[in-house]
Amino acid sequence: MELKRERDICILAHSYMCEEICEVADFTGDSYALSVKAKNAPQSTVIMCGVRFMAETVKMLSPQKKVILANPAAGCPMAEQFDKEVIGEVKKMYPDYAVVAYVNTTAELKTIADVCVTSSSAVKICRALPDKNILFIPDINLGTYVKNQVPEKNFKLLSGGCPTHAKIEKSDVLTAKSAHPAALFLVHPECRPEVVALADYVGSTSGIMDFAEKSDGKEFIIGTENSIVQHLQFKCPEKKFYPLSKDLVCHNMKITTLPDVLSCVLGRGGEEIVMDEKLRVQAVKCIERMIELGG
């Protein structure tokens, strides 16, 4: 703690990080909250404990800062699913559609998006956009959820998605609910529509945590990465939290360890994010618009 202050370092940790990393972080949250914090953090160096697109987002918003991805191997497979050329071709097919990109995309892909969204801001931003027609990339599950919440607009969706959340099936929910009939079911919108349809609450990682903490309910089935089950159990020992499935584990998020974070603080580890200025200027526009519309 002392060391990071001496070295003017801010540690940001996505909520999927393990408890011990969250404890040393200056701020923990969902991807929207991390983007906003990144913009306002006063420190000259930011260590991002999360996946690559999150560190890229920090660099885009704070080019003057040294931004370090705590473990260089931490990527998000969804972010790599479509490249700029493919989406460029799709855009030509739908010239009158605004491109709304989930933040889980590469910096390069963001250069051709009109606005970025996160799971906690997607509905609000799609509603607030002046455009009637929306090409939502890349997550078909989040896109379907947003489309259902914003019926007044026309959506075109692609077939991308999160391999961790998308593998969960309706039968997993039915099994968990029959094992814990009194539990409320909270789910991330990256899950399939038939899974989301059975939920008592749908929201981002932070949304799920807030809901569970404030709820009068005593038992919860957690339909997102299993680290959230641990964090909630730690925060609310009087309540009970059950994983929707033992397979709800994102190995990309799990790759970062506390020793990785220490190596970064000591200046010996991680990867410094370097971004071409022209690419950054183009890509950051859709993130700034997200923050402007997302509030």
Return the exposure string of 225-235: e unless at least 16 CB atoms fall within 10 Å of the residue's CB, then b: bbbbbbbbbee
The Cβ-side half-sphere exposure at 200, using a 13 Å CA radius, reads 16
CB nearer to ligand 13P: pick between 97 and 119: 119
Binding string to ligand SF4 for residues 66 to 85, with x set by CB under 6 A, is what? ----------xxx-------
> Which among 33, 28, 24 is positioned nearest to 16, based on CA atoms?
28
For residues 152 and 146, give the distance between their C-alpha atoms in angstroms, rounded to a whole number: 11
> Which among 27, 190, 200, 167 is positioned nearest to 104, based on CA atoms?
190
For residues 64 and 221, give the distance between their C-alpha atoms in angstroms, rounded to a whole number: 42
Residue from 22, 25, 51, 58 binding ligand SF4 (CB under 6 A): 51
Q: How far is the CB of 205 from ligand 13P (least distance, A)?
A: 4
**Residue 57 makes contact with ligand SF4 by CB under 6 A:** no
> Which among 109, 170, 100 is positioned nearest to 139, based on CA atoms?
100
**Residue 245 makes contact with ligand 13P by CB under 6 A:** no
**Host H or E run for residue 120:** none
CB nearer to ligand SF4: pick between 45 and 57: 57
**Residue 30 makes contact with ligand 13P by CB under 6 A:** yes
CB nearer to ligand SF4: pick between 160 and 294: 160
* Cis check: omega of the bond before 138, within 30 degrees of 0: yes
Query: Out of ligand 13P, ligand SF4, none, which partner does residue 252 contact, by CB within 5 to 8 A per kind?
Result: ligand SF4
CB nearer to ligand SF4: pick between 37 and 165: 165
**Structural tokens at position 14:** 């996505």
Q: How far is the CB of 120 from ligand 13P (least distance, A)?
A: 6
Span near ligand 13P by CB under 6 A; candidates 92-100, 114-122, 149-157, 238-246: 114-122
Binding string to ligand 13P for residues 36 to 75, with x set by CB under 6 A, is what? ----------------------------------------
For residues 219 and 160, give the distance between their C-alpha atoms in angstroms, rounded to a whole number: 32
* Interaction residues for ligand 13P, span 148-187 (CB under 6 A): 162
Residues lying near ligand 13P in the complex (CB under 6 A) are found at 30-32, 104, 118-120, 162, 190, 204-205
